[in-house]
């Protein structure tokens, strides 16, 4: 949602771009407004996934109130827990196609030709916010601001997954949790 605002070059997008480039986190008021607007869209009525939100206790409380206002159930929280050095290593190795936006990783999802997108052959670039100093600053902010969010949701629908494991392990752990939880949480049948 933030990147869409940046791409649209709105005043909010320009402010957001400057904050992200400096390694900061967008203010609660800005992100809450963006999230509330997005959740009011028709495609969110049957459910949605948020990645990286809520980041602060205020955002978590805002999300809880917004979901209640929209008659939606309490959130299911999946915490992918990864050590700092592993995260930094993964992110600094990301590359994005300047043409089509496809994502690569020079360690785990390499392009067929170095520096070129497999699809459109566009140049692969490092996103401005994928620099090590920016990532480490974001992780410091995470420790200070986001750990309380985990405590907020811990007694609810909370799933802790070791995120430094294989993608297959992570997928299976999350799927198992959701298959166990969802019929109880929302009265659904998982097939």
Q: Which residues pair with 76 in a beta bridge?
A: 157
| Domain count across the chain | 1
The confidence score (pLDDT) of residue 190 equals 38
| Overall pTM > 0.85 | no
For residue 158, give its domain range: 2-186
pLDDT tens, position by position, 73-102: 999 999 999 999 999 998 999 999 999 999
**CA dist., res. 58 & res. 129, Å (int):** 24
Residue 95 covered by a domain: yes
Residue 154 covered by a domain: yes
The yes-or-no verdict on residue 23 having pLDDT over 80 is no
User: Over the range 39-75, which residues count as b (16 or more CB within 10 Å of their CB) and which as e?
Assistant: beeeeeeeeeeeeebbbbbbbbebbbeeeeeeebeeb
Residue 11 covered by a domain: yes
Contact 153, 44 (CB under 8 A): no
In the block, tokens 């390694």 appear at 23
Say which residue, 141 or 82, is predicted with more confidence.
82
Residue 191 covered by a domain: no
Task: Give the H or E element holding residue 76.
Answer: strand 76-81
The confidence score (pLDDT) of residue 186 equals 46
Residue 124: CATH number of its domain: 3.40.50.300
């Amino acid at each position: 949602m933030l990147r869409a605002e940046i791409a649209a070059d709105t005043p909010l997008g320009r402010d957001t771009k400057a904050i992200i480039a400096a390694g900061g986190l967008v203010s609660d008021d800005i992100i809450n407004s963006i999230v509330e607007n997005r959740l009011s869209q028709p495609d969110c009525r049957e459910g949605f996934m948020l990645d990286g939100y809520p980041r602060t206790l205020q955002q978590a409380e805002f999300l809880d109130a917004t979901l209640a206002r929209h008659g939606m159930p309490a959130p299911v929280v999946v915490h992918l827990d990864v050590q700092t050095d592993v995260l930094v290593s993964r992110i600094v190795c990301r590359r994005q196609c300047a043409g089509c936006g496809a994502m690569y990783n020079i360690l785990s999802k390499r392009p067929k030709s170095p520096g070129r997108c497999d699809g459109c052959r566009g140049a692969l670039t490092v996103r401005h916010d994928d620099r090590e100093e920016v990532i480490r600053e974001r992780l410091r902010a995470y420790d200070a601001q986001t750990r309380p969010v985990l405590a907020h949701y811990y007694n609810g629908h909370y799933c802790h997954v070791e995120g430094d494991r294989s993608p297959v392990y992570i997928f299976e752990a999350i799927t198992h949790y959701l298959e166990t939880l969802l019929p109880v949480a929302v009265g659904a049948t998982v097939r």
